[in-house]
Amino acid sequence: MSRVRDAVRTVLDQGLVARVREGRLRDDGQWPYGLRAVVAVGCVLFVLAGVVALVSAPIRSWSSLSVPNSVTSSVPDGVVWLLTFLLGFCLALFTVAAIHGPWWMKMIGLVALALLLGIWSSATVVGSAVHTSTIARSPVIAAGLTVLVVVVLTVIGRRREPAWWEFPLVLGLIGLVLALCTLALAETSRRLGYRMAPVFLDQTMSLLTFIVLPAVIAAGAAVAEIAVGVTMAATRTTQRLAAGSWPYVVLGAVVVLRLAQEVRRLSDFDVANSGWRALVPAVVLVAGFVGLGWLVSRLTPLRDVSVAELPEDLSRISIGVGAATIALMIPVYVLIFGFQIVVSLNPSYAPESVDTTPWIDRLLDGFRVLLGVILVVVGLWQARRRRPGLALVLGSTGVMFFALSFRLLTGYRWAFWVDPDALVSVVTAGIVVVTGWLLVTRRLSRDRALGLAAVLTLAIVLSMRSVIADPVAALVGSSGVAFVLFGVTWDFLTASDWANTTGRRIGRSTRVLLALGYPLLTVTVVAADVLIRRPQTFSAVNGFAELGELVLGTALLAAAAIVVLSAVRGDREVL
């Protein structure tokens, strides 16, 4: 039992604890005075926002709701001040980071601060038409003073490390502006009989959603990252400890478990949704991954690739891929919106006569193909630079974007779609065939048996991708929120290592503030998304988290499978 206990401890340490230990924010004595307190408070607020998101259903049942006349949303009054404070704290983090960043970061930070405070304070001017009290004028004055102070700090604060008093000063000024705005909006609400502050907060959070969507997309791959880390750690531990016929027993057990999953899936088989329209893309997708692996192996050897480092390679590109995905959507909707404006100038125009949905689908598919081409080309370029792990992750992500646009590539003749279950079935069939062939030819060594078992384990994880989210969602009453929070937390704990070094243009303190501020803003927006119900719109947070799970998560599992199968082909141990 002690041997098994040590093996389990080793797997957990290598697969989970090591990622957190190496990727978290670390204070090794080089943080300036006061930064540790800021990070500590930020972490507490991070946990608080996550808990609020998880218990959103009870909070809504206990709070009175503000509903506008258009009935487009319902905002719990009890969380307005909390969300406003979280918003102010995030804005203060970004502002102080911008003050001590390069010139372009200073400009972005100053513009963002002026826009947000200007929008909030100008909203109180509407109330000044009804009354001209000091409460109505004070937010505008405070906002102007805050921007002026930040400009002065930007000019005189050229040294990289912020002073201990800068963050409390900026936070106090921003908090004062937001508090005065909330009070002024409440005063206007009493006079007009209409609650403006909750609805205005809803609009602000809706705009901020687009900023955090790249992080939400990246969070979708958290389960795949953990699966790859734990599976490979278990494989390496088994390689060291297993002797005799134990590797074959492990392979047999995994094959039986995977076949049992497949039998259960086929018992509920739906021909319309899981028939040949899902099977054909799965076969083509597997062929695409095989071709990618062959191309990368021709440019650089795969024998030295460590599967455990693939999640780190993915974390390096996930935010960028998410940002590119969102950026490619902007011109699509701008074109559609412009078309609607031009067409509406026609007096005989009827809005219901033009359906822009097919146009949006085709434009989005076209941009996805373009993004896929770029990722594959960049991946092959990385392979030529002897970075095979990063090349596989980039290329696999590009192949997944091709798969999402499969209907465009076929001219929209057939209703093809990507079904992860069909993909798992194709992979399972291929592994079973390879295993049988190695058995017949007596070439199934212990290393090959464990490698094939690792690939099947990854297939099992892909087939159980929703098991983590669904039970928790049933308990908290908000579908997918636990999955998103888990992913954001995992990324914060494992992908913040870039903030532990000092760059040539961006200092360490600035990096720490950014590494804390973006996840905190993401969790704040997620909490607002589940607290504020919008019946006429879908949840962008859940939808893009599922997109990240499908694209980035599947790409990571595919890259890991390619490396493992390369080791199986060469009869080597999995690194």
Q: How many domains does the chain have?
A: 2
Residues 246, 179 within the same domain: no
Instruction: Report the chain's mean pLDDT, rounded to a whole number.
Output: 81
Residues 307, 412 within the same domain: yes
Q: What contacts 302, CB < 8 A, 6 or more positions away?
A: 293, 296, 388, 562, 563, 566
Closest C-alpha to 180, from 135, 145, 149 = 135
Please report which helix (H) or strand (E) contains residue 66, including its range.
strand 65-66
The verdict on residue 347 lying in a domain is: no
Measure CA 302 to chain center.
28
Q: Sorting pLDDT into bands at 50, 70 and 90, what band is 21? A: confident
Instruction: Tell whether the model's pLDDT for residue 519 goes beyond 90.
Output: yes
Q: How far apart are the first and last CA of the chain?
A: 26
Residues 254, 327 within the same domain: yes
Residues 250, 156 within the same domain: no
The verdict on residue 191 lying in a domain is: yes
The verdict on residue 93 lying in a domain is: yes
Residues 228, 304 within the same domain: yes
SS3 74: strand
**What angle do the packed helices 166-192 and 197-219 form, to 10 degrees?**
130
What is the percent of the chain with per-residue pLDDT over 70, rounded to a whole number?
82
Residues 175, 232 within the same domain: no
Tokens of 38: 């800021």
- How far apart CA 460 and CA 462 sit, in angstroms, is 5
Please tell me the predicted confidence (pLDDT) of residue 474.
47
The verdict on residue 119 lying in a domain is: yes
Residues 47, 110 within the same domain: yes
Would you state the torsion angle of the CA atoms of residues 137, 532, 514, 552, taken in this order, to the nearest 10 degrees?
Answer: -150
More confident call, 360 vs 326: 326
Please tell me the predicted confidence (pLDDT) of residue 439.
83
Please tell me the predicted confidence (pLDDT) of residue 477.
47
Weakest-pLDDT range from 413-422, 514-523, 553-562 = 413-422
Residues 168, 246 within the same domain: no
Q: What 8-state DSSP symbol labels residue 75?
A: E
Please tell me the predicted confidence (pLDDT) of residue 93.
95
- How far apart CA 7 and CA 3 sit, in angstroms, is 6
Instruction: Tell whether the model's pLDDT for residue 189 goes beyond 80.
Output: no
Instruction: Tell whether the model's pLDDT for residue 554 goes beyond 50.
Output: yes
Residues 118, 233 within the same domain: no
| Three-class HEC string of 347-407 | CCCCHHHCCCHHHHHHHHHHHHHHHHHHHHHHHHHHHHCCCHHHHHHHHHHHHHHHHHCHH
**What angle do the packed helices 554-569 and 420-440 form, to 10 degrees?**
10
Are 164 and 34 within 8 A, CB to CB? yes
Residues 264, 370 within the same domain: yes
The tens digit of pLDDT for each residue in 173-188 reads 999 998 888 888 777 6
Q: What 8-state DSSP symbol labels residue 533?
A: B
Please report which helix (H) or strand (E) contains residue 131, including its range.
none
- Segments forming the whole domain that contains residue 114: 36-62+74-216+481-490+500-536
Residues 257, 128 within the same domain: no
The verdict on residue 5 lying in a domain is: no
- How far apart CA 4 and CA 507 sit, in angstroms, is 45
Q: Sorting pLDDT into bands at 50, 70 and 90, what band is 392? A: very high
Instruction: Tell whether the model's pLDDT for residue 274 goes beyond 70.
Output: no
Residues 516, 368 within the same domain: no
The verdict on residue 231 lying in a domain is: yes
Please report which helix (H) or strand (E) contains residue 76, including its range.
strand 75-76
The tens digit of pLDDT for each residue in 123-141 reads 776 555 544 555 557 888 8
The verdict on residue 108 lying in a domain is: yes
What phi, psi does 389 have (nearest 5°)? -65, -50
Q: What 8-state DSSP symbol labels residue 132?
A: -
The tens digit of pLDDT for each residue in 339-377 reads 666 655 555 554 555 556 666 777 777 888 889 999 999
